[in-house]
Structure 1
């Protein structure tokens, strides 16, 4: 028949192997087909039931924003209160910042504030007309201006970056060592070739046609993240369908799913620098990534560092983040038994990250045996 699919020789051999295995077990190819179709139909119904249950779930995020102590353009600095060392959290540019303050019982920032730290959150917001022209250097410059704001300029503070926010925090720490006493990097990539085919296929040409109106649209970003685990969407909604709607696990699922669906577009210059410069050319590892003419070299950071590596991270391969820890002269590495988002907001986040991070913050005030003077 014209246009019919013709199996390759390897495909025909594999089909023959399967047919022989079925025959030796007393099964027919038709029985296998029927069993596969029945399972696929059942899983599809379970997935659709999970999506419907998510859409009708009554949970809505109701946490009020903490006070805004500085703002510029679309960016706000939120003070979560507390006493102790000031820690400025720098989130990614591609998701909403409130994943670090997700819901009661699932807010890393409120947990830290209640346990001896003073966390602040740099909320980048959604790029407006000004931010759509920003590259990475302009975002780092804005972070530096936040460091110099009246709310923060009294003493050096701890800078903490999550995901790509960690790379922005690293650049700022190198440029402004007078304002940063230590650096925490949470699921922060460095070697963008780790865990990928060599040589990896170029990504920027695939995304370039989507850079509409000065941004990479949210839908394109969502599709890229979903591609990291193609079967994950169906799997998670099937699991959600089996949860009691009133359970804490169901509420957390909805909170996280709402956050995932509440994305922000990425400014086109940032998309070109990150997709082309980071993923395609691996400039950070090659030593070619610069901010304002200054090479972003972790080996030049003479400050204590805490590097958290989620061991089940599909967004930032652990090997990518581990390469960053290896470049830092005074890094303490923590392996978190969690995924990329679960580490900061999941049901096990307190044990996986919050308590270890607090422990490191408390140890900062104590001298480390064998520490170099210039690393303090």
Structure 2
């Protein structure tokens, strides 16, 4: 059995966990020497812990912290080892390929769940930094197979490792040489306007595609699609610029931003996520369904795709650094991408617990599109696709909305989806905002 390499990049996660677990021991002298006036400013749990430690003799306090750090480290390493050795392997049959060019493929999910092969056509665009099969993760957690069973014909644009020619691709190349030809292949198979669904970065790309080809699109659904990259996160500007500068030498050498580099950037959002989730995984029964679901999702997270060098720099410096989409300055083939000019029905699924795409960033796209519908499920960025509550809160209203939009060919707005919305989304018919306006959510 081939062992997994662990969460990527493993050295970074191990270093973050070690720093966290030993920080209490290192900070013990500081907690004892802190001035009385500073302690009221500490968070209440920290203040109480410091007071308990201060009541112990110095040697006893240090020994207690060392024992607890050792216990937690053992739990974390147990979870890591169980993940690395877990027998689960994804075994879903692949959907047939309808079209391919370079490393990109268009997979036809039209009849995977017994649905009609001539179902309502839907081009699905995922992010370029992760494998597309998060939308088809397991037999029980497959958004694409669910949509197929509802009478839709999902056609998934599947990204793969860039070939030699694709390493020089810009975002304009991605649109003109991959997305538009994929849309043409869907149109040839469908013989009429199609639905469009974009997830995460794929939603941002889908907006650019719809702006260029509005007559071919019946309706567009966005799932956690970032647009204003500084909304609720102005620090992203400096992080984006620093990340772009740090990536220059690697990209110059390899032609791509490698998977571990991308994963390291995601880790900065929450450096201790591996410590928490693998410690919890180690407490699960290894053969339980919960453990298998964890492994399935973790395998996907670690099965990333390198980004073409120019695309990576455009995203880091242009999107995150300069907020070009949010400011109305993002251009494809020289033309600005204007969501407010897309006169097609749109549905925006904005997960309220998203830590990867802040909800305010995704709301900014909805506010720029006339007549946009919003649903804000009480789920996270990935949970909206694979969590237990995803079918009720996301899949069913999404399927109903897409079917109505495609059937009408985009000539009328679909009926409002029946799904619970957060309080923020109940006043969702906001006027379109001028390009560059920042929505603070």
Q: TM-score, normalised by structure 2?
A: 0.77
Cα 1:32–1:291, aligned 2, differ >3 Å: closer, same or farther? same
Structure 1 counterpart of 2:248: 208
Structure 1 counterpart of 2:133: 98
Output one character per residue of 1:157-216: Cα deviation in whole Å (capped at 9) or x when no partner.
Answer: 111111111111111111011211111111110111123245842332122232231100
Gaps of 5+ in 1: 372-376
Answering whether residue 84 of structure 2 is matched by residue 62 of structure 1, we say: no
Output one character per residue of 1:232-288: Cα deviation in whole Å (capped at 9) or x when no partner.
Answer: 111110111111222221111111111111111111000110000000000011111
Q: TM-score, normalised by structure 1?
A: 0.90
Structure 2 counterpart of 1:71: 100
Answering whether residue 121 of structure 2 is matched by residue 86 of structure 1, we say: yes
CA distance in 2, matches of 1:325, 1:266: 27
The secondary structure found in structure 2 opposite 1:285 is coil
> Alpha carbon RMSD of aligned pairs, Å?
2.7
- Within 5 A, what are the aligned runs for 1:1-376? 12-13=34-35, 17=39, 22=51, 26-81=55-110, 82-83=115-116, 84-141=119-176, 142-149=178-185, 151-152=188-189, 154-198=191-235, 200-201=237-238, 202-203=241-242, 204-211=244-251, 212-364=253-405, 365=407, 367-368=412-413
The secondary structure found in structure 1 opposite 2:399 is helix
Q: In 1, are the aligned partners of 2:404 and 2:414 still within 8 Å (CA)?
A: no
Q: CA deviation at 1:37?
A: 2.7
Q: In 2, are the aligned partners of 1:22 and 1:29 still within 8 Å (CA)?
A: no
Output one character per residue of 1:111-149: Cα deviation in whole Å (capped at 9) or x when no partner.
Answer: 110122111100021111111111111111111111112
The secondary structure found in structure 2 opposite 1:52 is helix
- Matched length: 365
CA distance in 2, matches of 1:339, 1:268: 29
Gaps of 5+ in 2: 1-26, 40-46, 417-441
Q: CA deviation at 1:338?
A: 1.5
Output one character per residue of 1:325-352: Cα deviation in whole Å (capped at 9) or x when no partner.
Answer: 1111121111122211121123332123
The secondary structure found in structure 2 opposite 1:63 is coil
Structure 2 counterpart of 1:374: none
Cα 1:330–1:242, aligned 2, differ >3 Å: closer, same or farther? same
